[in-house]
Amino acid sequence: MSEREIVCEDVSLAIDELKHEGFRLDVIFPADEPNTALLSRQGETVRLRVAGAQALPRDLPPFQSGYVLTRAGASPAKGRAGMLYRDLIPGRLGGRYIASHIAIPEGGPVADWVHYHRIALQLIYVRRGWVRVVYEDQGEPFVMSEGDLVLQPPGIRHRVLESSPGLEVIEIGAPALHETLADHELALPNGERAGRSFGGQRFLRHVATETPWTPFLGAQAQETRIGEATAGIAEVRTIRPAGADELCFPAHDGELVFGFVLDGIATLDGTPVVAGDAFAIPPEKEWKLGDMSGDLRLLHVTTARLDAAASCPL
């Protein structure tokens, strides 16, 4: 198969032009602001890239601890499949993690395709609206609504089908830079194989309306089974005050400590935070939420030390 490379200013525009010539998209990255793509047509391959595009990591980049506070309101970038991405961890903690606030303002059918990722961890949480998705070996398409979550284990094929107007999701992944690879052969849905392992992890669908609120550090949380599904790599919960005046979090013995303010207001170690703000706390640091409004809802994500995890292949 012959291959040629084209250096361009706008990868998305170049992809559209090559598709009109009969090429199909095979690989694109990064999803939030694509700068590299691979397309093919009858034995011919074209690699598109923006000058200076960052190469994919061969391994998980080393974790770099740091404090991050990202405010709501920043302009998003147009990413893969026309979705809008807002970067929630701009420094990416050394390239180890990415967190994105993804929106589809208009709603309707999504210009997505069956694809998969080479990742160690990937979580999708619905903040607003609904989205219909389909996953390999998980049966018929289903709708995710506000507060719902899926774990996308390494290599699982999936596709976003349609969404409500104003859809907003939070996506968290490791490593920060990873490929989206098309699977042109597999049609979804493809049946159901309960409990299948993908890279040592299992697909998990968390449904908020079916999950009780339980005590958490003097407040309440909707817990998920992400810890079990990831073999201990991650924990995810939604937190609400339930009458508590403050929430004191102990130091974490892993890596990522991430929060996204879904609704309401609070202070983070004395600094005001509002809906749409996101933060990352160094794992060795204790931290506190105070002055919490009654409608506060917080997405709280932590991870283990991925270097020590047995099931984190790229």
User: pLDDT tens for residues 142-195?
Assistant: 999 999 999 999 999 999 999 999 999 999 999 999 999 999 999 999 999 988
pLDDT in tens, the chain (314 residues): 678 999 999 998 999 999 999 999 999 999 888 999 999 999 899 999 999 998 898 889 999 999 999 999 888 888 887 889 999 999 999 999 999 999 999 999 999 999 999 999 999 999 999 999 999 999 999 999 999 999 999 999 999 999 999 999 999 999 999 999 999 999 999 999 988 999 999 999 999 999 999 999 999 999 999 999 999 999 999 999 999 999 999 999 999 999 999 999 999 999 999 999 999 999 999 999 999 999 999 999 999 999 755 444 54
Question: 29 vs 34, 38, 122, 143, 264, CA distance in Å?
Answer: 5, 9, 15, 26, 34
267 SS3 class: strand
- Tell me the DSSP string of 49-89: EETTPPPPPSSPPPP----EEE-TTPPPEE-GGG-EEEES-
Here the tokens at position 288 are 């506190």
Nearest of 131, 99, 107 to residue 277 by alpha carbon: 99
The CATH number of 60-314 is 2.60.120.10
Q: What is the CA radius of gyration of the chain?
A: 20
Q: How many CB atoms lie within 10 A of CB 166?
A: 13
Q: Name the residue with tokens 């207001």.
A: 265
Residue 189: asked if its preceding bond is cis (omega within 30°), the reply is yes
5, with CB counted inside 10 A (0-12, 13-18, 19+), is: exposed
2-50 and 60-314 in the same fold? no
Sign of CA dihedral 164, 169, 175, 177: positive
DSSP string, 108-169: EE----SEEE--SEEEEEEEES-EEEEETTB-S-EEE-TT-EEE--TT--EEEEEE-TTEEE
Assign domain 2-50 to a CATH class.
alpha beta
Asked if 14 contacts 50 with a C-beta cutoff of 8 angstroms, the reply is no
Q: Write out the H or E segment, with its range, that includes residue 229.
A: helix 226-229
DSSP count for the chain of H helices, then E strands = 2, 30
Q: Where are the domains of the chain?
A: 2-50, 60-314
Determine phi and psi for 80, rounding to 5 degrees. -60, 140
pTM of the model: 0.95
